[in-house]
């Protein structure tokens, strides 16, 4: 539902993606400054990174996920009955404790360091990994004949794990420690009602969709920063 807007932002962010790492190599540079600039670029550019390929790979994976998250969200809503299945349903006010939220102040996001960026991604997907499993369980209980949804949830979780593996690999290559594993579901006490489960699933699918969008943007940035 918010995919279009995100895409636009991503596109507008594209041309500026190079600028933070290469501040002087801007379009207005004069020819005479070219040499100086190249030197500076060389200085500003981090060391050749073995994770560049993985970053690109991760970017592709994120794009792949991005294509599927909208469908996942729609499929999820269509199987939950009214009001979820009502056309145009959106309850942005709905939150679920523990589910990572993708929205973030732009400036903070833009100026975020690589390690933090990667760590936030890692943390979010580690949580989503658990939540997607939880949603799968909920739906298997609530809607055992929703085979398409269950399959999509399973696929989303498998890809999330792939994404996590990639992130781990990139972070290891960059020397960034992976955040300690936490059980994000400790607070998820049993006895959550069916309606709350449906709401939780909705929030998870919605935020997952948002986070994948954010990851695509993150990796667009990283890809530019670490060209293969």
Partner 1 sequence: MWDNPSLRCLLAITFLHLLSLIYSQETGFPEAPENLKCITHDLNRMICSWDATSSANLGLTYKICYTNSEHFSLVCIETEGKRADIPVTVGSTNIRITTLNASGTSLATETFVLSEENVSLIPLTPQILNLSADFSTYTLYLKWNDSGSVFQYELDASWQIQILRKETLETVALMNYDSKLTGKDSILSWNWTSDIPLECTSYYVKIRCYINEPYFTGRKEWSEWSPIRTVPEKDTKPNSAMVFPQDKVVLVGSNVTFCCLYNEGESIKFMNYGSKSYPLLRLNKWSSAIKVQNVSASISSGTNVWCLLEPDGLEGTVLFVGYAPDTPQNLNCETRTFITITCSWNPGRATALYRQRQTKYILFERISKENVTCKVDELNKEHYCDFPVHANQKIYNFTLGASNPLGQAESSLLIDVNQRVHLETPVKFTVSTNSSTNAHLSWYIPGNFIQIRLLCQIEISNSNSERQLNVSMAGAENSNYRAWVDALHPYATYTFRVRCSASEHFWRWSKWSEEKKLTTLEAPPARGPAIWRERSPVGETLTVFWKPLLLSEANGIILSHEVSCYSREIMLKAHEVPVPLNSTEIKLGGNDCLISVVAKNRAGSSPPSRITSMDLPSDDVKTELAIAAGNGIYISWHSDPNVTCGYTLKWCISSGSEPCNVDWEMFPSNATDAVIKSALFQPGVRYNFSLYGCKHNGYQLLQNITGYMKELPPKVAPNFTVEETSSDSILVKWEDIPVEDCQGFLKGYILYFAKGEKGSSKTSFTDEENKTEKNITDLTKKSLRILDLQGKTSYRLGLRAYTVGGIGPSKDLYVVTKENSVGLIIAILIPVAVAVVLGVVTSILCYQKREWIKETFYPDIPNPENSKALQFQKNICEISKLRQQLLPASSLRPEPCRVPPLLFGNGGNTALKTLEMNPCTPNSVEVVETQSTVLKIEDTEIISPVADSELPEDGSDPETGSHVVVSYCPPIIEEEISSPPIDEPVGSSQVIYIDIQSMYQPQVNPEEEPEINFVTTAGYKPQMQLPINAMKMESHSPTEEDLDKTAGYRPQANTNVWKLDSPDSPISIQSNNENGSFGSPCSINSRQFLIPPKDYEDSPTHNNTGWSFTNFFQNKPND
Binding site for partner 1 (CB under 8 A): 79-84, 86, 91, 93-94, 139-146, 191, 193-195, 198-199
Q: What tokens were used for 209?
A: 């969709």
Nearest distance from C-beta of residue 193 to partner 1, angstroms:
5
Q: What tokens were used for 42?
A: 């060389």
Nearest distance from C-beta of residue 144 to partner 1, angstroms:
5
Residue closer to partner 1 by CB (options 84, 112) is: 84
Nearest distance from C-beta of residue 136 to partner 1, angstroms:
13
Q: What tokens were used for 77?
A: 């809503």
Residue closer to partner 1 by CB (options 84, 178) is: 84
The answer to whether 97 and 187 have CB atoms below 8 angstroms apart is: yes
Nearest distance from C-beta of residue 142 to partner 1, angstroms:
4
Residue closer to partner 1 by CB (options 65, 199) is: 199
Report whether the peptide linkage leading into residue 120 is cis, meaning its omega lies within 30 degrees of zero.
no
Distance between CA atoms of residues 131 and 134, nearest Å: 5
Residue closer to partner 1 by CB (options 3, 84) is: 84
Sign of CA dihedral 24, 29, 31, 32: negative
The answer to whether 115 and 180 have CB atoms below 8 angstroms apart is: no
């Amino acid at each position: 539902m918010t995919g279009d807007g995100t895409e636009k932002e991503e596109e507008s962010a594209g041309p500026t993606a190079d600028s933070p790492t290469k501040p002087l190599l801007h379009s207005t540079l004069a020819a005479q400054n070219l040499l100086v600039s190249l030197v500076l670029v060389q200085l500003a550019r981090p060391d050749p990174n073995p994770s560049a390929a993985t970053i690109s790979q991760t970017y592709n994976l994120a794009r792949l996920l991005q294509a599927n998250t909208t469908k996942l969200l729609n499929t999820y809503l269509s199987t939950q009955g009214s009001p979820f299945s009502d056309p145009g349903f959106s309850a942005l006010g709905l939150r679920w404790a523990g589910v990572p939220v993708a929205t973030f102040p732009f400036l903070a996001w833009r100026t975020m360091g690589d390690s933090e960026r990667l760590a936030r991604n890692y943390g979010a997907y580690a949580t989503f990994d658990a939540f997607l499993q939880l949603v799968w369980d909920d739906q298997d209980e609530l809607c055992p004949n929703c085979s398409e949804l269950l399959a999509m949830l399973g696929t989303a979780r498998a890809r999330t794990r792939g994404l996590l593996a990639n992130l781990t690999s990139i972070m290891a290559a960059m020397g960034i420690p992976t955040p300690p594993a936490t059980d994000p579901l400790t607070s998820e006490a049993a006895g959550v009602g069916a309606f709350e489960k449906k709401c939780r699933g909705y929030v998870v699918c919605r935020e997952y969709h948002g986070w994948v969008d954010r990851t695509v943007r993150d990796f667009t940035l990283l890809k530019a920063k670490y060209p293969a």
